[in-house]
Structure 1
């Protein structure tokens, strides 16, 4: 049982995937195998024979461990992998083209409902591994949702996000890819995504804290489910 804090079951949980938001817990014991995603601005400490940390905006796979300084984290477990593609038939999912009318109608990309999971005040450069400055820290609302695609799905090259994001692979194997142009032949970085991996943000963050995204896409090698962690700058 977590000490202090609270636990909230996320809206897209179902019989296939259990997803919990753990907030403001001094200690959190991990019993069963699961993916832990740190969505706080501070590290989580893993107590074990060889103590380690889960840095902000990263993840790992754990079991039989004790977490300390668990300020804000997502816990995900695959409960049933048989017919896992059936998640998209649930009431919390929709085909992405129903949300974005311009999306190509022949691409089987599905998105779940989105949940708020607190807020943070950080210098955006922290997500890119750059040295942060308190003077550039701004408040963000943090939101999470799941995505699904079957194997060999091109989820479309795109750019122009107004928010910052990272993705954590939950099921299957996929790729986060960068391109010089809106052309798959201009690929220049190919990040292989296996369960439990979170990639660094793809945004190019300037010295003043502003950001710009390159052309990029997700590509599903197998049937894939991944978590999107989005940071939306608060507006006054």
Structure 2
């Protein structure tokens, strides 16, 4: 697809097979084909199209073949014709991370990858707005939003972990995968299995906030097909 625009800024993680841009607020664009729009703001985003479409806070949507004039800046990904199939993507100077694949109960060490990271915005909101729970209602605080893409091949377990110094949510861009939570580091202790298709965002982080600390359960990403997903990291300032 082609995105016709006037002043959009290409992201650092844009790829020839998956172009992505940061659209400025108030500018008119025409999406020719499928465009995955990500609202990373703590408030609803109005697209000002013919259907008065709105994207909820910390959410995303796929729109096709239309003029938009977003009221807030947002990310857009130009999707291929069949985004659910997923594709293998490699970025220049990508970072490599250890993953595991299981075949007939036998584990095999594999790798998955991270793109360049981009600083997208500075935002202010009460942190409990983005978490599944908190010990109290917090005042607004400032966050630096950093974003990057990940790629994993089909069948890859991307590492069970439970520590972050930031609040993190994810958007599925290509392929079908899962965000999973566990009772421990054992993959057999699975307790939540959230299936992710293109256009889906986990609009609440898995973490619980206690005295400004982000307490995460054990969790990981799993790729059913070749997958590309977006990580939105809200770092407190």
- Partners of 2:128 and 2:67 lie apart in 1 by 29
Task: Tell me what 1:63 maps to.
Answer: 64
Q: What's the TM-score once normalised by structure 1's chain length?
A: 0.82
Q: Does the CA contact (< 8 Å) of 2:49 and 2:69 recur in 1?
A: no
Structure 2 vs 1, CA of residues 181 and 28 (structure 1 numbering), >3 Å: closer, same or farther? farther
Task: Tell me what 1:78 maps to.
Answer: 79
Match of 1:196 among 165, 185, 199: 199
Q: Name the Cα RMSD after superposition.
A: 2.8
- Partners of 1:202 and 1:113 lie apart in 2 by 24
State whether structure 2 residue 163 is matched by structure 1 residue 155.
no
Equivalences for residues 87-166 of structure 1 within 5 A: 87-88=89-90, 90-96=91-97, 106-128=109-131, 136-166=139-169
- Partners of 1:164 and 1:96 lie apart in 2 by 21
Structure 1 range deviating more: 68-77 or 113-122: 68-77
Task: Tell me what 2:172 maps to.
Answer: 169
Give the superposition deviation at 1:210.
3.9
Task: Tell me what 2:29 maps to.
Answer: 29
Give the superposition deviation at 1:28.
3.9
- Partners of 2:127 and 2:86 lie apart in 1 by 39
- Partners of 1:145 and 1:106 lie apart in 2 by 23
Give the superposition deviation at 1:84.
3.5
Match of 2:209 among 192, 205, 211: 205
Structure 2 vs 1, CA of residues 92 and 8 (structure 1 numbering), >3 Å: closer, same or farther? farther
- Partners of 2:86 and 2:167 lie apart in 1 by 32
Q: What's the TM-score once normalised by structure 2's chain length?
A: 0.82
Instruction: Work out the number of aligned pairs and report it.
Output: 221
- Partners of 1:54 and 1:18 lie apart in 2 by 21
Structure 2 vs 1, CA of residues 186 and 76 (structure 1 numbering), >3 Å: closer, same or farther? same
- Partners of 2:213 and 2:66 lie apart in 1 by 38
Gaps in structure 1 of 5+ consecutive residues: 98-104
Q: Does the CA contact (< 8 Å) of 2:133 and 2:208 recur in 1?
A: no
- Partners of 2:213 and 2:9 lie apart in 1 by 32
Which secondary structure state, in structure 2, belongs to the residue aligned with residue 216 of structure 1?
strand
Structure with the higher helix share, 1 or 2: 1
- Partners of 1:213 and 1:83 lie apart in 2 by 28
Structure with the higher strand share, 1 or 2: 2
Which secondary structure state, in structure 2, belongs to the residue aligned with residue 147 of structure 1?
strand
Structure 2 vs 1, CA of residues 220 and 13 (structure 1 numbering), >3 Å: closer, same or farther? same
Q: Does the CA contact (< 8 Å) of 1:31 and 1:64 recur in 2?
A: yes
Give the superposition deviation at 1:181.
1.2
Which secondary structure state, in structure 1, belongs to the residue aligned with residue 124 of structure 2?
strand
